[in-house]
Amino acid sequence: MAHFDENAKPFSNQWLNDRLAIDTVKRVLSTEYWIPKNINFLWAMGMILAATFGLLVVSGIFLLMYYKPDANLAFDSVNYTIMSEVGFGWLWRHIHGVAASVVFLIIYIHMLTGIYYSSYKKGRELIWISGMLLFVTFSAEAFSGYMLPWGQMSYWAGMVITNLFEGGSLELTGLVEWIRGDYVPGDAYLMRFFMLHVLLLPLVIIGLIVFHFASLRLPHVNNQEGEEIDFEEAARLYKEDKKKESKVIPFNPVFLSKDIFVMGVYFILFFFLVFYNFDFAMDPVNFDPADGLQTPTHIYPEWYFLWSYEILRPFPKDPGLIAFLIAQVIFFLLPFIDRSSNVAPAHKRGLFVIWFWVLVVDMIALTVLGKLPPEGMFNTLGTVAAIIFLLMWPILFVITKFEKKL
Amino acid sequence: MSSRRDFMGMALGGFSALGGLAALYAMKRSWDPLPSVKAAGFTTVDLSGAQENVLNVEKWRGKPIFILKKSADMPADERDVLVGSDRFLIAIGLCTHLGCIPAYLPDQEIFHCACHGGQFDASGREIFGPPPSPLVIPPFKIDGTQLVLGEEGPEYIKMKEAGVIA
């Protein structure tokens, strides 16, 4: 039996230490969790994502109290009850909608930062993979949430996306009907996506966030130069009050205070969008109730899915599906496609920096083209951009194979 | 089996796996379409009032059904449904690419899908864009001038055997 100090006052530090080892936990997870000094504001994106997820949970809880997951009632429960009857209902909806859109912008910045600074390899593979799992789960969460207002875009996005599971020429109609619980998206469909959106997927996301953080603890965060830091030595210097000589700072309170500054700037922009420019996150077509007998003239996904949608679009059905599948999983393989052992910022990695910026430009081009109607010139450009995207990966393999070791 | 402990482990693991599989099956079945959904009846449409080159859209099992009375200038096709001396296109009105509803353009006598630019002619055959196959013909039966959707009549079975329903 462990030793318990009988004189410790209930809930005093000593009392809690005996029962929960709170000092040890605090030390390991915050005051002696060392972060390199040599980083910039891009390293704050992780905490910004965590905070945005928090906002999504809180606003979601309030929306949940008046939302009705029923094909006949859903549309009015959102557009009438929540928007005009519930006190501040509009606020929760606009926070939820804007956050769902902005969270993807931050995810993309977070991912591209990781790629630019080679933060996905040499001990950091699991951080990258768990991050990609989070991206995929967030995508499923965004899609399932998009179904809930049960407007025209909800219905037809649901129709098109579930039809993808037909697998082209495999004609798995049974699988599609199984996913929907009906021949077309209907009540059963709406209810199960509601369940996924408010329970199962958030549980998975929370689990993955814990895993993502855990996978970061041993390899530590990367830094601007990709320098391999002797964390024990650096920590010793810091604790000896040689803070200037030490290459690290503790997560809490030093790094966190900078994080919170960046978060402050972010939230000013975020709430500016919520209060004055929420329209970008609210597709006007989705303010028409779902109608299974009337397709909207243009069906396009939210901006954050456009690049992968544009990879599906220019090809014939089967090759298009295969290209789309590749686009969904290829980023998972990044740590293994990159054959170079260099952990360094892209501008020190020779051809890799060109590869990086071509990837960024190509993905922006795919995003823009995905929004334009598939006609004439745009069709050709879309095909070219999609082919470039697919070729980027074998090219990465080759150029990193011959990359000079730093 | 080297020891009692191994045996206990295998027995526990085996029964747990069995229970797990049974639970998975129950979960799979819970996601199946309900019997009431599956039995969502048959739709009967009277074709006697149909006008040439005017698209009529009916709803069957939640899906739009295109019914188009062909005009004399439209070429005959083995997918035509004959009702008396009239020729009809009867098809599920969902683009075979990704399931959007194509619009009918009566001047050009084609169906145009706005989603990805696919086009079908008045016989429902794909003529442009990503659709990989013609519009699907739903199970139907002709009863005088009545069209019964959901039931396989002799005309439908003949088309199915000829392989022209999709």
Residues A111 and A170 in one domain: yes
Phi, psi (degrees; rounded to nearest 5) at A289: -65, 150
* Cβ-contact B154, B143 below 8 angstroms: no
Residue B43 parent element (H or E)? strand B43-46
Give the pLDDT confidence score for residue B1 in this predicted structure. 56
CB within 8 Å: B101 and A374: no
- Quick check: bond before A335 cis, omega within 30? no
Each residue's pLDDT, cut to its tens digit, for chain A (406 residues) gives 578 888 999 999 999 999 999 999 999 999 999 999 999 999 999 999 999 999 999 999 999 999 999 999 999 999 999 999 999 999 999 999 999 999 999 999 999 999 999 999 999 999 999 999 999 999 999 999 999 999 999 999 999 899 899 887 787 888 999 999 988 899 999 999 999 999 999 999 999 999 999 999 999 999 999 999 999 999 999 999 999 999 999 999 999 999 999 999 999 999 999 999 999 999 999 999 999 888 887 778 899 999 998 998 888 778 989 999 999 899 999 999 999 999 999 999 999 999 999 999 999 999 999 888 777 788 889 999 999 999 999 999 999 999 999 8
Residues A385 and A249 in one domain: no
List CB contacts (< 8 A) between B102 and chain A.
Answer: 295
Q: Is the pLDDT of residue B98 over 80?
A: no
Q: Is A297 on the interface with B (CB under 8 A)?
A: yes
Q: Which of B63, B113, B130 lies nearest to residue A317, judging by beta carbons?
A: B130
Here the CATH number for the domain that contains residue B59 is 2.102.10.10
List CB contacts (< 8 A) between A178 and chain B.
Answer: 28, 31-33
Residue B37 within any structural domain of the chain: no
Residue B151 within any structural domain of the chain: yes
Best residue of B115, B128, B133, B165 to probe chain A, by most A CBs closer than 10 Å: B115
How far does B19 lie from chain A, in Å, by closest CA?
22
Residues A320 and A384 in one domain: yes
From residue A19, give the alpha-carbon distance in Å to each of A8, A23, A53, A190: 11, 11, 31, 46
Residues B55 and B25 in one domain: no
Residues A391 and A264 in one domain: no
Residue B95 within any structural domain of the chain: yes
Hey, how many other C-beta atoms are within 10 angstroms of the C-beta on A200? 14
Residues B82 and B154 in one domain: yes
Residues B9 and B73 in one domain: no
Residues A273 and A314 in one domain: no
How far does B129 lie from chain A, in Å, by closest CA?
8
Residues B69 and B47 in one domain: yes
Q: Provide mean pLDDT across the span B150-156.
A: 87
CB within 8 Å: B34 and A156: no
Residue B55 within any structural domain of the chain: yes
Residues B19 and B76 in one domain: no
CB within 8 Å: B100 and A188: no
Decide which of A264, A299, A334 is a domain's last residue: A299
State the burial class of residue A308 (Cβ atoms within 10 Å of its Cβ: 0-12, 13-18, 19+).
buried
Helix (H, G, I), strand (E, B) or coil at B104: strand
Give the pLDDT confidence score for residue B41 in this predicted structure. 60
Residue B81 within any structural domain of the chain: yes
Residues A289 and A337 in one domain: no
Residues A77 and A123 in one domain: yes
Nearest CA in chain A to B30: A181
Residues A339 and A285 in one domain: no
- Which residue is listed with tokens 């999609």? A386
CB within 8 Å: A183 and B114: no
Residue B116 within any structural domain of the chain: yes
Best residue of B98, B101, B119, B128 to probe chain A, by most A CBs closer than 10 Å: B98
CB within 8 Å: B33 and A182: yes
Residues A264 and A397 in one domain: no
CB within 8 Å: A293 and B59: yes
CB within 8 Å: B114 and A292: no
Residues B83 and B103 in one domain: yes
CB within 8 Å: A184 and B62: yes
Residues B48 and B101 in one domain: yes
Residues B66 and B135 in one domain: yes
Residues B100 and B157 in one domain: yes
Residue B138 within any structural domain of the chain: yes
Q: Is A168 on the interface with B (CB under 8 A)?
A: yes
* Cβ-contact A93, A287 below 8 angstroms: no
List CB contacts (< 8 A) between B132 and chain A.
Answer: 168-169, 316-318
Work out how many domains chain B is built from and give that number. Answer: 2
Residues A90 and A178 in one domain: yes
Residue B38 within any structural domain of the chain: no
Work out how many domains chain A is built from and give that number. Answer: 3
List CB contacts (< 8 A) between A374 and chain B.
Answer: 116-117
- Which residue is listed with tokens 């150029």? A399
What is the model's pTM?
0.86
Q: Is A320 on the interface with B (CB under 8 A)?
A: yes
* Cβ-contact B116, B101 below 8 angstroms: no
CB within 8 Å: A294 and B115: no
Where in the sequence is the domain holding B76, given as residue range(s)?
A: 43-162
Q: Is A159 on the interface with B (CB under 8 A)?
A: yes
Give the pLDDT confidence score for residue B144 in this predicted structure. 85
List CB contacts (< 8 A) between A192 and chain B.
Answer: 31
List CB contacts (< 8 A) between A313 and chain B.
Answer: 116, 130
Where in the sequence is the domain holding A10, given as residue range(s)?
A: 1-31
Residues B62 and B141 in one domain: yes
Q: Please report how many Cα atoms fall inside a 13 Å half-sphere around the Cα of residue A18, on the Cβ side.
A: 14
CB within 8 Å: B99 and A178: no
List CB contacts (< 8 A) between B33 and chain A.
Answer: 177-178, 180-183, 188
* Cβ-contact A388, A362 below 8 angstroms: yes
CB within 8 Å: B62 and A186: yes
